Structure 1
Amino acid sequence: MRAINQVERNILKEQFVPDHLFLYILNGSVSFFDGNETYTFRSGDCCIARRNHLVKFILNSTTEDFEPILFCFDEEFLREFQQKHQSSAVAFSFDHAIIELPNSGLIDSFIQSVKPYYRGAMELDAAFEDIKYEELLIILLRLQPDLTCIFFNFDIPQKINLEAYMNRKFRFNVSLERFALLTGRSLSAFKRDFKSVFKESPSRWLVRKRLHEAHILVQNQGRKPSEIYLDLGFESLSHFSVAFKKEFGVTPTTLLARR
């Protein structure tokens, strides 16, 4: 759905980006983690989160102080824009989930022009929605023409190196179906290839990998269990503690106290 969305906590917990997302920070600060790098954006900064990627959103300011503007570019709109403007995707290799955009007076002026059309909690007046989406995309492509290879590439994810991908993305708490899609496989092919590479099932490997990462963070860096369990893909602290003790024979809290 193309709209400027109301900011809620569930948006900040979203890990799979289904559509290209343009984000402009009016106030506050947010960080993104894509499995490799952490990107931090503050007031006046903007970026694009790419579709079909895994990203963790970490709010650095209070919800009340955080004020972003979000534009979600869905495939239907992008195809219509491409046909109208005869835009074609240029050959350009870019694998990052987050695209940092340079500060620009054009974007700043556009953001100011959007403000009069807000309705309620950051919802754009429907009469101006298509116009403003088109205007923003024109600005982005003028500032960074290489973005055509991002916006107008409608291919599904291709089959990629499973071992490298999973060792980067194991912290993300998404379904096996999602991992299969993002590595260019059916679910059955994903499970088969996974077993061949890692010699155990995806579910078991993910738990073990996260627990061993947790052990390093607790024992070597003195990190508190409450600080790391969500970042490592566990849904609750109790589940994390039980699994940790089953794997290592000691709770993470006890291990921390022994340092």
Structure 2
Amino acid sequence: MEKLDVFDCSNVLIASYFTDDRECTHENKEHTLIYLYSGELEIEERGKKTVLHPGDCAFMRRDNRMWLHKCVAEGNPYRSITLKFSRAFLREFYQTLNRQEIPADSKREKVSLRVLPNNRPDIRSLFESVVPYFDTGEKPSEDILKLKMIEGVYVLLNTDRNLYASLFDFVEPWKIDILDYLNENYMCDLSMEEIASYTGRSLATFKRDFAKVSD
């Protein structure tokens, strides 16, 4: 049996190690930052394929489905580290921001996958600093996990001012457009509860908003 190892820290920081190729459908319940150490990762979303190589880092926006192909490359195992940002954490982080420093022109992007510029020291130091925990099998403390999440948020905010709107889309003006989401995901077999969640709404709010746009 091929080796399969996934090290999960509170479903926030996750390390994966595969010695054979793996494919899966990935549903982003939370905004996700993924860093590839070795191997190769093919991500297909909406008919577009993106390939990540060692040292690459990508942001996968919440409420999207993607097909992931995790590959062994040139004899090197697939190895990645994933950082997830819950709504609760982002709400807490948002409250610490100086409102005057939040860019007023930040616009929520429709793209579900963004590859970050490579060779950035802040990205490399963030993920390399957690490798020893996974190598030893020792779970970092909750305080350390929170610090890593904060570092991850700043990695994104320092990449593009529009990521303010993508990360903090629980704020009313940044709510996901219902018709845009339905047009992009009409092939998916989703329940009304799932669509409500994916568009940043409670079920009751979704029904009310949908009634407004479908009249």
| Alignment TM-score, normalising by the size of structure 1 | 0.59
Structure 2 unaligned segments of length 5 or more: list them: 1-9
Percent identity of paired positions between Structure 1 and Structure 2: 18
Distance in 2 (CA, whole Å) between partners of 1:34 and 1:137 is: 23
* Residue of structure 2 aligned with 1:158, choices 173, 177, 184: 177
* Residue of structure 1 aligned with 2:98, choices 86, 102, 112: 86
Pair 1:27-2:54 in alignment: no
Aligned AA (2:61) = R
Distance 1:122 1:146, change over 3 A: farther
Distance 1:58 1:177, change over 3 A: farther
Aligned length: 184
State the shift of 1:109 in Å: 2.2
Per the alignment, residue 61 of structure 2 pairs with 50
Distance in 2 (CA, whole Å) between partners of 1:66 and 1:23 is: 13
State the shift of 1:176 in Å: 3.5
Q: Is the 8 A contact 1:28 1:65 kept in 2?
A: yes
Structure 1 unaligned segments of length 5 or more: list them: 194-259
Pair 1:99-2:114 in alignment: yes
Aligned AA (1:140) = L
Which structure has the larger Rg over C-alpha atoms?
1
Matches within 5 A, 1:199-214: none
Aligned AA (2:127) = I
Distance in 2 (CA, whole Å) between partners of 1:145 and 1:24 is: 21
Distance in 2 (CA, whole Å) between partners of 1:115 and 1:162 is: 36
Distance in 2 (CA, whole Å) between partners of 1:152 and 1:49 is: 14
Q: Is the 8 A contact 1:19 1:73 kept in 2?
A: yes
Helix, strand or coil for the counterpart of 1:7? Answer: strand
Structural RMSD (CA): 3.4
Aligned AA (1:136) = G
Bigger proportion of residues as strand: 2
Distance 1:68 1:125, change over 3 A: farther
Per the alignment, residue 160 of structure 2 pairs with 144
Q: Is the 8 A contact 1:25 1:43 kept in 2?
A: yes
Distance 1:68 1:120, change over 3 A: same
Q: CA offsets, 1:15-70, max 9 Å, x none? A: 321100000001111111111311111110000110011212122328x8111111
Pair 1:7-2:16 in alignment: yes
State the shift of 1:13 in Å: 2.3
Q: Is the 8 A contact 1:19 1:72 kept in 2?
A: yes
Helix, strand or coil for the counterpart of 1:160? Answer: helix
Q: CA offsets, 1:158-201, max 9 Å, x none? A: 321577424xx52x5x4333674357855xx79xx8xxxxxxxx
Per the alignment, residue 39 of structure 1 pairs with 50
Distance in 2 (CA, whole Å) between partners of 1:29 and 1:122 is: 26
Per the alignment, residue 81 of structure 2 pairs with 69
| Alignment TM-score, normalising by the size of structure 2 | 0.70
Q: Is the 8 A contact 2:108 2:166 kept in 1?
A: no
Distance in 2 (CA, whole Å) between partners of 1:115 and 1:163 is: 39
Q: Is the 8 A contact 1:25 1:42 kept in 2?
A: yes
Aligned structure 1 segments of 4 or more residues deviating by more than 6 angstroms: none
